[in-house]
Structure 1
Amino acid sequence: MIVALLFAMQFEANAETCADMGNLPQQPMNACAHWEYELADAELNDVWEQAIEYARNYLNHDDMNDGRPSGAQRLLAAQRAWITLRDEHCAVYSYHMRGGSAEPLLYHGCRTSMTRARTSELRDLMVEDQ
């Protein structure tokens, strides 16, 4: 038990250590799942900057004066709602492991999956209108 604790405390999640995640003890698996989420989130943030700039430049239609929000305003509202949806959905997804050692693995795995999907959606948004 002490050896497992020492291993978990010294574990650094990275591509090399997480490549064979299924053979790791639970705490390092949780660390790898969180690390993978952080990578996916960083990619989402990069694509988000491109998408919101795209929306500001190409989805505004301010000349219509119809009183509706611009594409950028709607995209920002959608992104904020999506973040809430992702986090709440993943909390429910991991709920059956609530308090257990695998809860973070399920939670971060869910967030990674949904974040990658959202990144793809934002990329598609920039392609569809061109």
Structure 2
Amino acid sequence: MDGVMKKLILFGTISGGILFWSIHLQADNFDCRNAATQTEINQCVYQDFQQKDEELNHIYQQYYAKLDGVRKDQLKQAQLVWINFRDLSCQYEADYYQGGSLAPMVYSSCLKDKTKERISDLKNYIALY
């Protein structure tokens, strides 16, 4: 991997982390049924992503437990690459709104959607196993 790509990955990871942290600090115990501001909507979309991420982790562990040896290593490597792809891809989408109040919502919504797709993929793998 060349130096530019490594820097892009690092930048995307750091940017995503900062964005997540800022949303997380505001999201504690908020009732999304009453979301009225963009900040509140951003919080709710982030919470939706968190729920899907927990589901993904559960499905991943189920599938991982069924595998052995090389297949476990392959799945682990594939998952790490997929997470990096998801995060960078969603950061790219959110960057269209960089500096605006929509950016966190676009980022979290993208993460949620890509995570739902990955859940579906892993469920299909489990069904084939």
Calculate the TM-score normalised by the size of structure 2: 0.74
Alignment-mate amino acid for residue 111 of structure 2? R
Q: Could you say which residue in structure 1 is the equivalent of 2:122?
A: 122
1 or 2, which has the higher helix percentage? 2
The 4+ residue runs of structure 1 with deviation greater than 2 A are 9-14
Cross-structure match for 1:63 = none
Deviation per residue, 1:71-117 (Å, 9 max, x gap): 11111110000000000000001111011111000000000000011
- Kindly indicate whether residue 81 of structure 2 is the aligned counterpart of residue 36 of structure 1: no
| Conserved 8 A contact 1:11-1:28 | no
Structure-2 change in CA distance of 1:97 and 1:10 (3 Å): closer
Which of 1 and 2 has greater Rg?
1
For the residues of structure 2 that align with 1:33 and 1:125, how far apart are their CA atoms?
28
The Cα of 1:12 is off from its aligned counterpart by 3.8
Alpha-carbon RMSD: 1.9
Corresponding residue for residue 49 of structure 1: 61
Q: Which structure 1 residue ranges, 5 or more long, are not aligned?
A: 1-8, 61-69
**Matched ranges for 1:72-87 at <5 A:** 72-87=72-87
Percent identity, aligned pairs only, is 25
- Change beyond 3 A, Cα 1:104–1:76: same
- CA–CA separation in structure 2 for the residues paired with 1:107 and 1:10: 15
